[in-house]
Structure 1
Amino acid sequence: MDLNLLHVFLVLLEEHSATKAADRLGVTQAAVSAALTLGEFLARDHILISCEGLTGVIDDILAEQGLQRRIGSATSHYAALPFLLRGSEAIATLPAHAARALAQASSLDTCHCPLALPEFGVDLSWRFDALRDPAFMLFRDLVVDQATTFFHASSQ
């Protein structure tokens, strides 16, 4: 075990903020964030973000390695995370763009996940009876067109 990482982790636990821990340790916030090891990741309670049940992609990746995380609570909404994470030492794993947006709108900090994660998909879903509504179908087509344009432009 790297005792320097243990010290970083203990300061991070005490400060509840990677930015404050970095200030206290005299290093960058990125250095503190990079210190999150797999063992430390697994030692924390996790908040699962899922509409589908009690496991997610992270759990599947961990299971392939014979590992498991502790789910302390679950939500189907990213917007609930600041309220669920505030004052706790829990971790929520979410796409980088969503993590950055939540961090900017709250006092939360971000760090990189110590797991190799696959690209995530973007899905659009609706109730079956909405297919009979021409206004909804027009709106859906506009959203699909804009998303296609956005993702195509960002991949170049």
Structure 2
Amino acid sequence: MMNETEFDLNLLPVVLAIAEERSVSRAAERLGWSQPKVSIALAKLRAALDDPLFIRGSHGMSPTPRALALLVPTRDILARVKNEVLIRAAFNPVTTTRRFTFALSDIGEMTFLPKLLAYLQAHAPNATVRSVTLPPDEIAVGLENGDIDLAVGYFPDLKGRNFFQQRLFTHSFISLLNAKHPIKGRRISMEEFLRIGHAVISAEGRSQEVFEQLLAKHRIERRIVLSTPHFMSIPFIIASTELLVTVPYAVGESFAKVANIRLIEPPLEIPQFDLKQHWHRKYAKDEANMWIRSVLVKLFSA
């Protein structure tokens, strides 16, 4: 007796077509096959199942009891292949209860989450969001195993053929001062920049590296008064001291709205850097992942 690994499942549509059409030629037309191909398939079926399956009679090809017994499971198998294998499950944001997980730095949260959460509340009200901050190697593992849907921001370590990326917008840096600081103008001079006390943020996010690397390249040494891993205290510190801090532009704009501080251009040209969304190639065609990527493009692409 032939076992399931030897049986050619591609032959099953032939059983159904001949049974319903009662004709090899009409079955061939229905399947889009040639008549000889259907005849060969029928011969294989007869040999595999040790039964003639169809007998030619006055009303065409008449199924044997063995063929009749095959019809219900064959219809079920073909329907399941069509509905569960060939048809991709549709993602419906209105009804989804999915939790989307993003790898974000704290400045990434400030930049992306307010708009994103507002959009999800309007268009995917039952969806939830989880934000994680992890070392680059753990982010890569999380993207691969599906624990993280997207890494959004500045992640230069996410390279290689297994990671896809899409630019959202380009970022730069801005310096911040107390609104009543004696240094005036739109740009601070290098002399003032070197003389003034600085607050420096050494957070998990990689974007701050761009500015620090530029200073190192030009051998510029600031007078660092405060070093902190936290962004959230910075606007209140700057508003109540005469320190200067340099941060990504979108962060500086946000801080200026909540504290008595103003923006001032740094004394040197700072390279811009791209903020991107990154995902693993395993999930490139995942419906939910595709949808949330399209949302980020809609909200932030420039």
TM-score computed with the length of structure 2 as normaliser: 0.33
Higher strand share: 2
Aligned to 1:111: 264
Aligned to 1:28: none
Once the two structures are overlaid, the 10-residue window that deviates more, 40-49 or 114-123, is 40-49
Q: Distance in 1 between matches of 2:296 and 2:228?
A: 28
Deviation (angstroms), 1:136:
4.8
Q: Is the 8 A contact 1:45 1:70 kept in 2?
A: yes
Once the two structures are overlaid, the 10-residue window that deviates more, 103-112 or 41-50, is 41-50
The one-letter amino acid of 1:101's match is S
| CA deviations over 1:96-149 (Å, ceiling 9, x no partner) | 3432332122111221111111123213357x7xx598535421332134433x
Aligned to 1:74: 228
Is 1:32 aligned to 2:204, yes or no? Answer: no
After superposition, residues 135-154 of structure 1 pair within 5 angstroms as 135-148=288-301, 151=302
Q: Is the 8 A contact 2:181 2:242 kept in 1?
A: no
Count, aligned residues:
121
Is 1:94 aligned to 2:247, yes or no? Answer: yes
> Aligned Cα RMSD in Å?
3.4
Q: Which runs of 5+ in 2 are unaligned?
A: 1-176
Q: Residues 51 and 143 of structure 1: is their aligned pair in 2 closer, same or farther, counting only changes over 3 Å?
A: same
Deviation (angstroms), 1:84:
3.8
Deviation (angstroms), 1:50:
4.0
Aligned to 1:85: 238
Q: Residues 106 and 136 of structure 1: is their aligned pair in 2 closer, same or farther, counting only changes over 3 Å?
A: farther
The one-letter amino acid of 1:37's match is S
SS at the partner of 1:110? strand
After superposition, residues 114-133 of structure 1 pair within 5 angstroms as 114-124=267-277, 131=283
Q: Which runs of 5+ in 1 are unaligned?
A: 1-15, 23-30, 152-156
Sequence identity percentage: 23
Higher helix share: 1
| CA deviations over 1:43-92 (Å, ceiling 9, x no partner) | 32222264247x62222222222222244223364x44213434233222
The one-letter amino acid of 2:229's match is T
Larger Rg: 2
TM-score computed with the length of structure 1 as normaliser: 0.56
